[in-house]
């Protein structure tokens, strides 16, 4: 991928699943629990199409794609029940805690913009409440009435930026994402995007990000005009 110009930013916006928390692996298990009785597999080629989607469009896609004998509402109910069991012990992704504490210590405003609903965010972050309490605010796409359209639409990132005490320009925001849908949404909002993709994603699916990293631990804040790590 050609080198892209990295512009200075003042605010950061974070996705959650697969970026800050190791939940994508657990979502796969929850989905396989639904599909297994029907003898259906869940390859990554299907998973990458739904990463970052809100509850309803994801459930509708899965029911239609697999021709499942259930409504999207029933699929969502089963997925939620499985997820509630699995997500209670969600672990942080490499580099996540260091970066969040660094931004907080240096008074860089940052927020959460996740497609998950508010109650699921509470569940997934239950082991990390103090850390997630550092966010300026949280926008939970599936339950937030101001987020009219889910990713890959830009709505969630525009709402997230507008809720800072002094709302920044879109060009002053840096989004952290792991999914192609999320990167598309951030681009459409006029924001730069650091992508930490699943290693199975093709380079073609990551080429629209401003910067692609193997882990949040590889992020260098000074490249975007933010205070550098000192440790």
Is 15 annotated as catalytic?
A: yes
Domains of the chain: 11-22+90-224 (3.40.50.1000), 24-89 (1.10.150.240)
Would you give the end-to-end CA distance of the chain in angstroms? 30
DSSP letter string, 110-162: EEEEESS-HHHHHHHTTT-HHHHTTSS-EEETTT-TT--S-TTSSHHHHHHHH
pLDDT of residue 54: 85
Identify the active-site residue in 15, 144, 155, 178. Answer: 15
**Where is 179: in which H helix or E strand?**
none
Largest CA distance in the chain: 55
Give the CA distances from residue 231 to residues 40, 99, 102, 160, in Å, rounded to whole numbers and listed in that order: 48, 11, 10, 30
pLDDT tens-digit map of 101-127: 999 999 999 999 999 999 999 999 999
What phi and psi, each to the nearest 5 degrees, are found at residue 175?
A: -95, 140
* Positions in the chain short of pLDDT 70: 1-3
pLDDT of residue 3: 61
What are the beta bridge partners of residue 212? 195
pLDDT of residue 1: 44
Q: Regarding beta strands 211-212 and 192-195, do their DSSP bridges make them parallel or antiparallel, or are they unpaired?
A: parallel
pLDDT of residue 2: 47
């Amino acid at each position: 991928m050609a080198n892209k110009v990295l512009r200075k930013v003042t605010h950061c916006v974070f996705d959650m699943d697969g970026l800050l928390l190791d939940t994508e692996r657990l979502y796969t298990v929850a989905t396989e629990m639904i599909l297994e009785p029907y003898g259906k597999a869940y390859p990554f080629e299907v998973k990458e199409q739904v990463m970052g989607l809100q509850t309803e469009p994801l459930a509708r896609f899965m029911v239609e794609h697999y021709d499942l004998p259930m409504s999207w509402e029933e699929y969502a109910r089963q997925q939620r029940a499985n997820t509630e069991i699995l997500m209670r012990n969600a672990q942080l992704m490499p580099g996540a805690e260091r970066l969040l504490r660094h931004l907080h210590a240096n008074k860089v405003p940052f927020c959460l913009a996740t497609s998950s609903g508010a109650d699921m965010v509470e569940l997934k972050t239950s082991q990390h409440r103090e850390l997630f309490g550092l966010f300026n605010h949280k926008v939970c796409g599936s339950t937030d009435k101001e987020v009219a359209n889910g990713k890959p639409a830009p709505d969630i990132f525009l709402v997230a930026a507008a809720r800072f005490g002094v709302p920044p320009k879109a060009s002053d925001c840096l989004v952290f994402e792991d999914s192609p849908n999320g990167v598309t949404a951030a681009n459409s909002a006029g924001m730069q995007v650091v992508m930490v993709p699943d290693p199975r994603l093709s380079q073609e699916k990551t080429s629209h990000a401003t910067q692609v990293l193997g882990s949040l631990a590889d992020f260098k804040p000074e490249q975007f005009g933010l205070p550098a790590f000192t440790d």
